[in-house]
Amino acid sequence: MSAVRGPGHDPDDTFQFATSPSVRLPRDASPAEKIRLAVALRNEWLAVGLSAAPANRPAAEAAVGRLYEMAGAPPPAFEWAASPLAALGAVRAARSRYPVIQPPRSLVRQHMRQWPVAARLASLQSSLRARLDARIRRAAGDWPDSQAGNPGTVSMYGPEDAIASGVSDRSVVVATVGQSLRWTLADAVAAPLRGALAQAIGQAVEDDELNPGGGVIAFRSQHEAAWIGYYDARRRAGFGGYASADVGELDTWAALAASAGWWWPGEGLCVMAERPVEVHTEPLVGSHHGELRLHCGDGPAIGFADGFGANVLHGTLVPEWVLSGPTPGLIRAEPNVEVRRSAIERLGWDAYLSDGGLTLAASSPDPGNPGAALELYDDLPDQGWGPPARILVVTNGTPEPDGRRRRYGISVPGDLDNPVDAAAWTYGLTGELYATLARRT
């Protein structure tokens, strides 16, 4: 398990993107030099997104004041909360400051001056991103690049090998900075946090209080380091500049992302959430681009000072009972297949299988693994419209120290009826090919 603050650079209270001297590469910097710098900047932004340091309140309030000014509003009063959950409570208590945000369709019929400040800020942000994207597209158009359309080639290599293999630095920076930061901070950190927040207030994630569609708008600041860091790293690593006014705007969003947690802008009042006090991650195994996901086996993977947090096992948001006391009965009652799987891994496959809750569909000898069987079980139905599934129970080729061989289950598509075909599917092979397996250790 990683340290609390994630890898690499650990931003302190003086961390200020707006004022830090920009790193300049020589004009003739090689693609490899540019990528090395971009990766270093990515790691700094990753540390920003995973920071568990107290908020830098003066810096955050100054940045929000500048953003309100850009949106044509006077600087607000501030109320700080220990967590996003506490912040949401403060927003509910000050509901008059938070007019319900209409869907963009209705908003366009009003003059922008009449929009709630949160809507104007959202518009400010999306316009900035559109201008930065347009600039990047134009620059890419100047340098046609046959490999640019193949992110697959980039993802199979580490960034420097990709460059050495002739992939353009422009393609590499998209994968190793843009996609990497987005996957870690937006998909693997902010999304489970949002899920935990929705559960804590007893709402489905789709419901309005957390959503722009009808409720108030939450800005994720620290976790917006994903897009902010991408544009920032591109500029600083020599992938092309932006209009100077846009650089100023980007630096303001950057200063805020580096200073505080989520925030809820209202009329004359802005509720700000502190950063978490603990963040536990693990690397995404086998990736070349530094992605991390939340994971902690003995407490919240991301936790705040007031006790709010998210329990996450290997990236899966799980209820508290999965950590504290999984039982076969609780597992059978759980509708979410990912939660079930996480809970079974905690309980142990032997304990779960010996409980007898699963129905054996088929069994056959395990190729290359003498004395062992492949057993195919019908899985419990998934919630909603998820496709049916089966569980293939396999046996390790090598004994444990106590002489027994560990068994565990692997989820496979429900249309597989033959255990050998199912085992083959897990490695992307046909059953005929897998049946020739010479040895399993």
Partner 1 sequence: MVMPLMLTTATLADLTARTGLDVLGHLERQVTIPVTDGIQAQGDLLVIPVALLAADPLGRTRRGVSLVGSPRWHAVPGAGVEVLRAGTGGNPHTLVADPGTCRWTTGVDDPQRLALGALRTTGVAYLIHPEHGGSGIAPGTYVIRRQRERSGMTGRPSDFPHAGNPVRYVAD
Q: Site map for partner 1, 265-284, x if CB under 8 A?
A: -----------------xxx
| 299 binds partner 1, rule: CB under 8 A | no
Task: Give 294's strand partners.
Answer: 281
Q: Which is nearer to partner 1, 137 or 439 (CB)?
A: 439
Residues 236, 253: Cα–Cα separation, whole Å: 16
| 198 binds partner 1, rule: CB under 8 A | no
| 161 binds partner 1, rule: CB under 8 A | yes
Tokens of 328: 């076969």
Tokens of 372: 């062992």
Residues 395, 375: Cα–Cα separation, whole Å: 9
Q: Which is nearer to partner 1, 227 or 242 (CB)?
A: 227
Task: Out of 23, 77, 108, 156, point to the residue binding partner 1 (CB under 8 A).
Answer: 156
Residues 441, 438: Cα–Cα separation, whole Å: 10
Which DSSP string do the residues of 331-397 spell out, in sequence order? HHH---HHHHHHHHHHH-HHHHHHTT-SEEEEEEE-TTSTT-EEEEEEPPPPSTTPPPEEEEEEE-S
Residues 214, 199: Cα–Cα separation, whole Å: 19
| 3 binds partner 1, rule: CB under 8 A | no
| 427 binds partner 1, rule: CB under 8 A | yes
Q: Site map for partner 1, 360-389, x if CB under 8 A?
A: --------x-------------x---x--x
Task: Give 375's strand partners.
Answer: 363, 393
Residues 76, 90: Cα–Cα separation, whole Å: 15
Which residue from 247, 284, 279 is spatially nearest to 261, judged by alpha carbons?
279
Residue 392 and residue 422 in contact, taking contact as beta carbons nearer than 8 Å? yes
Of 19-27, 65-73, 253-261, 394-402, which segment contacts partner 1 by CB under 8 A?
394-402
Residue 220 and residue 122 in contact, taking contact as beta carbons nearer than 8 Å? no
Of 8-16, 75-83, 155-163, 223-231, which segment contacts partner 1 by CB under 8 A?
155-163
| 175 binds partner 1, rule: CB under 8 A | yes
Task: Out of 317, 322, 353, 361, point to the residue binding partner 1 (CB under 8 A).
Answer: 317
Task: Out of 170, 223, 314, 346, point to the residue binding partner 1 (CB under 8 A).
Answer: 314
Chain length of the chain: 441
Where does this chain bind partner 1 (CB under 8 A)? 1, 151-158, 161, 164-166, 175, 179-180, 183, 187-188, 191-192, 195, 282-289, 291, 293, 295, 314-317, 336-339, 368, 382, 386, 389, 396-401, 403, 410-413, 425-430, 433-434, 436-441
